[in-house]
């Protein structure tokens, strides 16, 4: 997901510093400077940024897009005195518990919620009774729905199991138990320019399957199919919250849910969206270039409004193939699917020899297929054809 970002930086005659703890990551060879360090290791990033500066390299901007490291971004920017969201805000919104508390303090609707550590498990029965059903167990500061499951009835054994997973994937070592809101979900992407002006980037519909209790994202639709009045309400809610939090520059991305009481915020972050959304789906369907707007903002430059205009007026969809868990023995039809008119991109996260695990979170998806069409029916037919052509065999 970082590849298009690097390509946009290149178009602006910039060189790129890439950091990743994997020395063989996808963008390793595209970097002018590569730093092998965990993206969540803030102090090491600051140390490396100072080293590069002392060596005479002029670092003109720092950006996190599509990855859950806005705290690292804000910390580097603060150290180098570069434009970015306040580091305290980045930390606040990255922690779901702290964000819930702040929204409640500001007077916005929040679900009933409790932060849970290992020491709280003995009080699980009372916590459950206070929250009520349906409820959801989730991590406090991770992504991809890791350690997340919906419960519609009491199952202490399974809840304890999920809480252990949620605590393990959370850097805080804690989990959340909260009231589970019901409804359709959306990504609401916005950005503040260098003058503090609020810009509406896009709203994408997120399609989930929750039948097993796990929140599995099946695909996306761009642009949103929601009525304009509902989208207006969502954008206004996003702007109000962002301004009340003190955001004056950079991205403000929200995960919202349309409940029977109106739009509600599930989570937010101060980075661009992941899930191949702003990087591939949105450009393919609308021609919008949110990445360039974000890069220019990080450079303390204004961006033209044309970057956020829909110039294509197509409907984009993403979808996945869900083979039976097991070891992959064969993959076929990918090139034929890519050749179909309307197929924009196909990305595989697994290859022959890899093992597909049970589908318990969104990181377990094998592949992503991105298509566009002149309307939704056209796009859906193309997606169905592509999924039919691609064959994945497991044992």
Q: Measured on CA atoms in the order 10, 77, 104, 232, is the torsion positive or negative?
A: negative
Query: In the numeric block, which tokens belong to residue 105?
Result: 């303090």
Helix (H, G, I), strand (E, B) or coil at 262: strand
CATH topology of domain 182-314: D-amino Acid Aminotransferase; Chain A, domain 1 (3.30.470)
Residue 372 near residue 344, CB atoms below 8 Å? yes
Question: In the chain, where are the structural domains located?
Answer: 3-89, 112-179, 182-314, 316-394
Helix (H, G, I), strand (E, B) or coil at 213: coil
Does pLDDT of 295 surpass 80? yes
Instruction: Encode pLDDT of 185-215 as tens digits.
Output: 999 999 999 999 999 999 999 999 999 899 8
Residue 201 class from Cβ within 10 Å (0-12 exposed, 13-18 middle, 19+ buried)?
Answer: buried
pTM of the predicted structure, to 2 decimals: 0.95
| Among 306, 312, 271, residue whose Cα is nearest residue 289 | 306
Look up tokens 């409790």; give the residue: 114
Q: How far apart are CA 299 and CA 15, in angstroms?
A: 13
CATH fit for domain 316-394, picks 3.20.20.10, 3.40.470.10, 3.30.470.20, 1.10.620.20: 3.30.470.20
Query: In the numeric block, which tokens belong to residue 75?
Result: 């910390």
The reply to whether 182-314 shares the fold of 3-89 is no
**Tell me, what DSSP letter sits at residue 158?**
H
Residue 108 class from Cβ within 10 Å (0-12 exposed, 13-18 middle, 19+ buried)?
Answer: middle
Q: How far apart are CA 236 and CA 263, in angstroms?
A: 10
Instruction: Encode pLDDT of 324-348 as tens digits.
Output: 999 999 999 999 999 999 999 999 9
Query: In the numeric block, which tokens belong to residue 355?
Result: 């093992």
Q: How far apart are CA 114 and CA 175, in angstroms?
A: 8
Q: What is the mean pLDDT of residues 145-172?
A: 91
Q: How far apart are CA 268 and CA 160, in angstroms?
A: 27
Model confidence band, residue 300 (pLDDT cutoffs 50, 70, 90): very high
Q: Let me know if domain 112-179 sits in CATH 3.30.1490.20.
A: yes
Instruction: Encode pLDDT of 76-95 as tens digits.
Output: 999 999 999 999 999 999 99
Q: How far apart are CA 119 and CA 295, in angstroms?
A: 44
Query: In the numeric block, which tokens belong to residue 391?
Result: 């064959």
Residue 166 near residue 114, CB atoms below 8 Å? no
Instruction: Encode pLDDT of 9-33 as tens digits.
Output: 999 999 999 999 999 998 999 999 9
Q: How far apart are CA 284 and CA 51, in angstroms?
A: 39
CATH topology of domain 3-89: Rossmann fold (3.40.50)
Look up tokens 């970015």; give the residue: 84
Q: How far apart are CA 378 and CA 340, in angstroms?
A: 12
Q: What integer pLDDT is reported at residue 171 of this predicted model?
A: 85
Q: What count of other Cβ atoms lies within 10 Å of the Cβ of residue 194?
A: 17
Q: How far apart are CA 266 and CA 272, in angstroms?
A: 16
């Amino acid at each position: 997901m970082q590849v298009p970002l690097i390509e946009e930086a290149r178009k602006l005659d910039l060189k790129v510093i890439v950091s990743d703890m994997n020395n063989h990551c996808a963008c390793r060879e595209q970097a002018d400077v590569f730093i092998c360090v965990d993206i969540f290791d803030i102090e090491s990033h600051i140390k490396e940024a100072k080293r590069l500066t002392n060596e005479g390299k002029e670092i003109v901007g720092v950006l996190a897009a599509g990855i859950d490291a806005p705290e690292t971004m804000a910390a580097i920017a603060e150290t180098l005195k570069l434009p970015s969201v306040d580091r305290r805000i980045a930390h606040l919104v990255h922690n779901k518990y702290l964000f819930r508390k702040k929204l409640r303090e500001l007077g916005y609707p929040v679900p009933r919620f409790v932060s849970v550590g290992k020491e709280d498990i003995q009080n699980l029965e009372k916590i459950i009774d206070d929250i009520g059903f349906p409820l959801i167990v989730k991590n406090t500061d991770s992504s991809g729905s890791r350690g997340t499951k919906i419960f519609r009835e009491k199952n202490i054994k399974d809840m304890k199991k999920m809480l252990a997973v949620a605590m393990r994937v959370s850097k805080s070592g804690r989990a959340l138990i909260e009231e589970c809101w019901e409804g359709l979900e959306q990504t609401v992407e916005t950005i503040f320019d260098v003058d503090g002006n609020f810009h509406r980037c896009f709203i994408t519909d997120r399609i989930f399957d929750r039948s097993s209790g796990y929140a599995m994202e099946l695909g996306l639709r761009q642009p949103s199919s929601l009525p304009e009045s509902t989208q207006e309400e969502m954008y206004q809610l996003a702007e109000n919250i962002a301004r009340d939090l003190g955001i004056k520059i950079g991205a403000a991305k929200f995960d919202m849910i349309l409940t029977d009481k109106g739009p509600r915020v599930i989570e937010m972050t101060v980075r661009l969206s992941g899930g191949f959304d702003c990087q591939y789906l949105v450009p393919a369907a609308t021609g919008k270039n949110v990445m360039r707007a974000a890069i220019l903002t990080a450079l303390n430059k204004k961006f033209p409004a044309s970057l956020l205009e829909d110039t294509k007026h197509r409907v984009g969809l993403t979808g996945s193939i869900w083979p039976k868990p097991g070891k992959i023995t064969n993959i076929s039809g990918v090139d034929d699917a890519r050749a179909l008119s309307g197929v924009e991109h196909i990305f595989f996260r697994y290859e022959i020899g890899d093992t597909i695990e049970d589908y318990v979170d969104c990181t377990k998806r094998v592949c992503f297929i991105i298509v566009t069409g002149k309307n939704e029916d056209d796009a859906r037919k193309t997606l169905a054809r592509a999924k039919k052509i691609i064959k994945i065999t497991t044992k």
